[in-house]
Structures are given as structure tokens and as C-alpha cells.
Amino acid sequence: MGETAGERALSRIHSVRERIGDSLSAHTNELVAVFSRLVNQGKGMLQPHQITAEYNAAIPEAEREKLKDTAFEDLLRGAQEAIVIPPWVALAIRPRPGVWEYVRVNVSELGVEELSIAEYLQFKEQLANGSIDNNFVLELDFEPFNASFPRPSLSKSIGNGVQFLNRHLSSKLFHDKESMYPLLNFLRAHNYKGMTMMLNDRIRSLSTLQGALRKAETHLSGLPADTPYSEFHHRFQELGLEKGWGDCAQRASETIHLLLDLLEAPDPSSLEKFLGTIPMVFNVVILSPHGYFAQANVLGYPDTGGQVESSTPLLTA
């Protein structure tokens, strides 16, 4: 049977101040030992490996085994830096990706204070300035250059930025057809050394683009799959399409199908596949910084230093 409403309960997420307070109550000696070692370092900033080293030095291995998976260890393992200005130790804690918490501990009195970002930075500045006069402090708040970009909120999105952006863009395209115009403008503007790659001036709207794609699709369906672009490029240019769609009838047809599907029902997979077919890379340079340096007649030898290879642009690929 399912749980009743009375049996279900939401557990409150404790603040970092409460978690350190609980750790002080449960592991007073251990916490004092660690923070005392940090304070004994003197005024300065400690990195994560230094915090871990002091933790390992202060707590015997047998005791550390007992502290595994406790809030006490989680706090110290999550600390990304420690600012020490005796008797205070301030910690910047990253409990999970995208989340930061700031706290400072008075080692002498075992007092704990939770800090805002501004308060933490102000405390950190005292490492250089010694003291701060709040009436005469210049603050410059720069807006992030990517402030208008969507920001992932799930840990699983970290390292998968392209997929995340594709999902965001396809969702936007699905709900707002006007959002297709940046894609249209990109296809019209994309060129290599002045050579138009995807769409010429005949295509000026989404409806014109869709009509041209359907006509091109019909034309290609009557050609053998391996028909080279040179044999249908006149028809393509009449429709407003250029050589970037593919080097043969089959390749061009596949690219056109992808864009038609994307215009009809946007989804992340179609967007990624279509963007992957657009020719973007035209030159590749390979540098080998080791091997036969400054010698004649060694080009092509294994590991030849200074080899530079520039690939021929594959404009019709």
C-alpha cells in the first residue's frame, strides 16, 4: 500500500552553519584539532590539498575511518579554499556542482557564522589590505558575458554542454517559429573566403526555404545516389541552394531531409545532426614539436619536429 499523507514528510535541508554546529557538537575534539592546525599556519589562503593534508595530519587514520560519510568529513572534503586570519577560518564549500556556501569559524570561541558572497570576499580581501573602511571601498560588479545563455541546473549536464544547448534551442524552436530566423540568417551568411556555402540571395524567408528544399528533394529523388554535385548545381542555384549541402545526390538529400525534419518538428537529435553536416572546418594544421629538429630532408620521418600539414579544403564534402 502507498504511504498516507501523514506518513510522508519532507526533510529540511540544513544550512552550512547548522551542519558545522552539529559537527562541533558531535566531533568537538576532531574539529578543534583540524581548525587549530589551520590557524597555526598563520594568515593566508589554503588550497583543497592543503586542507586535506592538515585533516589527515590532525586525525589518526583509525579515527578518520569512523568519520567517513559524516557531515564533518563532507564539509572538509567539500572545502575549495580556506582563508585564515587568526582566530578566524573562513571556508568556501562546494557541496555539489553549481552550489557554493561560505562560512567562518572562530577557533578560539568555537563560534560559527554563515557568510554571503560579498562578506566572504570582503573577509578574503583582508589578506591583502589588513582592514577595510566600508565608506571608501570601490566595487566593480561586472555582468557575466554569457548572462543571456541558459544555465544547466542538473549535475548530469556538466560536460554535456552541446547536448544541453541543443535541447534548449530545439525547445525554443518548437515553441516559437520566429526563433528559426537566426538559423536562416546563419545559413544565408555562412561562407568560405567569400564563397556562399548554404543559401544564396534567392532565399529570404522560412517559407521560401521550405519550398526550395521540397523542390530540391523532388529533383534529387530522380537522380542516382552517386550523382556528383556538379551535375545538379545549376538547379540548386536556381532554387537558392549552394554547394555546402553535399558532394553527391545522396549526401545532399540526407542534409535536406534533416533540415526539413528540423523545420517541421525541432528536436535535439535533428538539430545536432544537421549542424554536424554543415561544412565548418576547411583547414587542418598538424604540428609535431619533437623529433628531427632543424635538419634537411627529414619531412615525413616519424615524429619529425616542425612538420606542418595543411589539408586541402574539402568545400564539397
**179 contacts: CB under 8 Å, gap ≥ 6:** 169, 172, 173
Identify whether 8 is part of a domain.
Answer: no
Say how far apart CA 223 and CA 217 lie, in whole Å.
Answer: 10
Q: What is the mean pLDDT of residues 165-184?
A: 75
| Phi, psi angle pair for 102, to nearest 5° | -130, 135
Identify whether 170 is part of a domain.
Answer: yes
Q: What is the pLDDT of residues 204-213, one digit of tens each?
A: 998 999 999 9
Is residue 165 domain-shared with residue 238, that is, in the same domain?
yes
Is residue 129 domain-shared with residue 206, that is, in the same domain?
no
Say how far apart CA 246 and CA 237 lie, in whole Å.
Answer: 13
Q: What is the mean pLDDT of residues 32-56?
A: 90
Identify whether 6 is part of a domain.
Answer: no
Identify whether 181 is part of a domain.
Answer: yes
Is residue 131 domain-shared with residue 50, that is, in the same domain?
yes
Q: What is the pLDDT of residues 117-138, one digit of tens each?
A: 989 998 998 888 666 666 666 7
Is residue 273 domain-shared with residue 285, that is, in the same domain?
no
Query: Which of the four pLDDT bands, split at 50, 70 and 90, describes residue 59?
Result: confident
Is residue 128 domain-shared with residue 187, that is, in the same domain?
no
Identify whether 5 is part of a domain.
Answer: no
| Higher local confidence (pLDDT), 132 or 39 | 39
Identify whether 155 is part of a domain.
Answer: no
Is residue 95 domain-shared with residue 201, that is, in the same domain?
no
Query: Which of the four pLDDT bands, split at 50, 70 and 90, describes residue 97?
Result: confident
Residue with cell 553549481: 98
Is residue 38 domain-shared with residue 127, that is, in the same domain?
yes
Q: Which of 101, 96, 114, 115 is nearest to 21 (CA)?
A: 114
In the chain, pLDDT over 70 holds for what percent of residues? 74
Q: Minimum mean pLDDT among 32-46, 104-118, 154-168: which range?
A: 154-168
CATH code, 79:
3.10.450.330
CB atoms within 10 A of CB 30: 23
Is residue 51 domain-shared with residue 87, that is, in the same domain?
yes
| In contact, 235 and 220? CB cutoff 8 Å | no
Predicted local distance difference test score (pLDDT) of residue 289: 58
Residues listed for the chain:
317
State which H helix or E strand residue 89 sits in: strand 88-96
Query: Which of the four pLDDT bands, split at 50, 70 and 90, describes residue 30?
Result: confident
pTM: 0.52
Asked if residue 313 has pLDDT above 60, the reply is no
Identify whether 177 is part of a domain.
Answer: yes
Asked if residue 188 has pLDDT above 90, the reply is yes
Identify whether 146 is part of a domain.
Answer: no
What total number of domains does the chain contain? 3
Asked if residue 71 has pLDDT above 90, the reply is no
Alpha-helical segments (H) within the chain: 16-26, 28-40, 48-58, 61-67, 71-78, 117-129, 161-175, 181-189, 206-221, 233-239, 249-264, 268-277
Predicted local distance difference test score (pLDDT) of residue 315: 43
Is residue 295 domain-shared with residue 271, that is, in the same domain?
no
Is residue 121 domain-shared with residue 20, that is, in the same domain?
yes
CATH code, 268:
1.20.120.1230
For 287, the domain range is: 281-317
Is residue 188 domain-shared with residue 269, that is, in the same domain?
yes
Say how far apart CA 216 and CA 236 lie, in whole Å.
Answer: 7
Predicted local distance difference test score (pLDDT) of residue 3: 44
Q: What is the pLDDT of residues 261-294, one digit of tens each?
A: 888 888 888 888 898 899 888 887 766 555 555 4
Predicted local distance difference test score (pLDDT) of residue 61: 85
Predicted local distance difference test score (pLDDT) of residue 232: 94
Q: What is the mean pLDDT of residues 175-194?
A: 84
Q: What is the mean pLDDT of residues 80-102?
A: 89
Q: What is the mean pLDDT of residues 194-219?
A: 93
Predicted local distance difference test score (pLDDT) of residue 9: 41
Asked if residue 12 has pLDDT above 50, the reply is no
Is residue 272 domain-shared with residue 287, that is, in the same domain?
no
Predicted local distance difference test score (pLDDT) of residue 149: 67
